[in-house]
A and B are shown apart, each in its own frame.
Chain A
Amino acid sequence: MSETGTEQYNFKIVRSFAFSALFWLVIGLIVGLWIAFEMFNPALNLAPWLSFGRLRVVHTNGLGLGFGLAGIFATSYYILQRLTRTALPFPRLAQAHLYLFNTTIALAALSLMAGMNTTKEYAELEWPIDIAVVVFWVMFAINVFATLIKRREKQMYISLWYIIAMTIAIAILYIVNNLEIPVTLFKSYTVYAGANDANVEWWYGHNIVGFIFTVPILAMFYYFLPKSTGLPIFSHRLSIISFWALNFAYLWTGAHHLMLSPLPEWIQTVAIAFSIFLIAPSWGSVINGYYTLQGNWEQLRTNYLVKFFIFGITFYGLQTLQGPLQGLRTLNAFFHFTDWVVGHVHMGTMGWVTMIISASFYYMIPRITGNQLYSIKLANTHFWLILVGQLIWTITMWIAGIQQGAMWKATNPDGSLMYSFLDTLTSLYPYYRLRFAAGVIYFAGILIFVWNLIMTVRQAPQKDEAEQPIQNKELQSWG
Chain B
Amino acid sequence: MNSSALFYFLFTLLLSVIFGGIIRYYYNPKRKQKIEEPKHRMLDDEQ
| A/B touching: CB–CB < 8 A | yes
Contact surface of A with B, Cβ cutoff 8 Å: 82-83, 85, 153, 155-158, 223, 226-227, 230, 232-233, 235-237, 240-241, 244-245, 266, 471, 473-474, 479
Given contact pairs A236-B36, A237-B27, A479-B37, a sample of 20 additional A-B residue pairs in the complex whose CB atoms are under 8 Å apart: A82-B45, A82-B46, A83-B45, A153-B45, A155-B38, A155-B41, A157-B39, A157-B42, A158-B38, A226-B39, A227-B42, A227-B43, A236-B38, A237-B26, A237-B31, A237-B32, A237-B36, A240-B26, A241-B26, A474-B47
**B35 & A237 in contact (Cβ 8 Å cutoff):** yes
9 smallest beta-carbon distances between A and B, as pairs: A232-B39, A237-B26, A157-B42, A157-B38, A155-B38, A236-B39, A236-B36, A82-B45, A233-B39
CA of A212 to CA of B26, assembled, Å: 28
**B42 & A226 in contact (Cβ 8 Å cutoff):** yes
Determine how close the nearest CB of chain A comes to the CB of B8; give it in whole angstroms.
9
**Chain A residues near B41 (CB-CB < 8 A):** 153, 155, 157
CA of A479 to CA of B40, assembled, Å: 14
**A471 & B35 in contact (Cβ 8 Å cutoff):** no
Contacting residues of chain B (12-36) with chain A, CB-CB under 8 angstroms: 19, 22-23, 26-27, 31-32, 34-36
**Chain B residues near A153 (CB-CB < 8 A):** 41, 45
Determine how close the nearest CB of chain B comes to the CB of A219; give it in whole angstroms.
12
Determine how close the nearest CB of chain A comes to the CB of B34; give it in whole angstroms.
7
**Which one of A85, A156, A227, A473 contacts B38 once the chains associate, using CB atoms below 8 Å?**
A156
CA of A39 to CA of B26, assembled, Å: 51
**Chain A residues near B40 (CB-CB < 8 A):** 232
Determine how close the nearest CB of chain A comes to the CB of B10; give it in whole angstroms.
14
Given the known A-B contacts A237-B35, A479-B37, are A83 and B26 also in contact in the complex, defined by CB atoms under 8 Å?
Answer: no
**Which one of A157, A241, A266, A474 contacts B22 once the chains associate, using CB atoms below 8 Å?**
A241
CA of A82 to CA of B19, assembled, Å: 32
**Which one of A85, A155, A233, A237 contacts B45 once the chains associate, using CB atoms below 8 Å?**
A85
Given the known A-B contacts A237-B27, A240-B26, A241-B22, are A230 and B36 also in contact in the complex, defined by CB atoms under 8 Å?
Answer: no
The interface on chain B, measured as residues whose beta carbon lies within 8 A of the other chain's beta carbons, has a size of: 22
**B39 & A471 in contact (Cβ 8 Å cutoff):** no
23 CB < 8 A contacts A-B: A153-B41, A155-B37, A156-B38, A157-B38, A157-B41, A158-B39, A223-B42, A226-B39, A226-B43, A227-B42, A230-B43, A232-B42, A232-B43, A237-B26, A237-B27, A237-B31, A237-B32, A240-B26, A240-B35, A241-B22, A266-B4, A479-B34, A479-B37
**A236 & B22 in contact (Cβ 8 Å cutoff):** no
CA of A85 to CA of B47, assembled, Å: 10
**Chain B residues near A240 (CB-CB < 8 A):** 26, 35
Residue of A nearest to B42 (CB): A157
CA of A479 to CA of B41, assembled, Å: 12
Of listed B37, B41, B42, residue having the most chain A CB within 10 A: B42
Given the known A-B contacts A237-B32, A240-B26, are A474 and B44 also in contact in the complex, defined by CB atoms under 8 Å?
Answer: yes
**B37 & A241 in contact (Cβ 8 Å cutoff):** no
**Chain B residues near A157 (CB-CB < 8 A):** 38-39, 41-42
Given the known A-B contacts A241-B22, A241-B26, A244-B22, are A235 and B36 also in contact in the complex, defined by CB atoms under 8 Å?
Answer: yes
Given the known A-B contacts A241-B22, A241-B26, A244-B22, are A473 and B47 also in contact in the complex, defined by CB atoms under 8 Å?
Answer: yes
Determine how close the nearest CB of chain A comes to the CB of B16; give it in whole angstroms.
10
**Chain A residues near B45 (CB-CB < 8 A):** 82-83, 85, 153
**Chain A residues near B39 (CB-CB < 8 A):** 157-158, 226, 232-233, 236
**Chain B residues near A479 (CB-CB < 8 A):** 34, 37
CA of A245 to CA of B15, assembled, Å: 10
Residue of B nearest to A233 (CB): B39
**Chain A residues near B23 (CB-CB < 8 A):** 241
**Chain A residues near B44 (CB-CB < 8 A):** 474
CA of A375 to CA of B10, assembled, Å: 58
**Chain A residues near B42 (CB-CB < 8 A):** 83, 157, 223, 226-227, 232
CA of A85 to CA of B42, assembled, Å: 10
**Chain B residues near A158 (CB-CB < 8 A):** 38-39
**B36 & A245 in contact (Cβ 8 Å cutoff):** no
Determine how close the nearest CB of chain B comes to the CB of A41; give it in whole angstroms.
50
Determine how close the nearest CB of chain A comes to the CB of B30; give it in whole angstroms.
12
CA of A232 to CA of B43, assembled, Å: 7
CA of A240 to CA of B26, assembled, Å: 8
**Chain A residues near B22 (CB-CB < 8 A):** 241, 244
Residue of A nearest to B23 (CB): A241
Residue of A nearest to B46 (CB): A82
CA of A85 to CA of B27, assembled, Å: 28
CA of A82 to CA of B47, assembled, Å: 10
**Chain B residues near A155 (CB-CB < 8 A):** 37-38, 41
CA of A389 to CA of B31, assembled, Å: 46
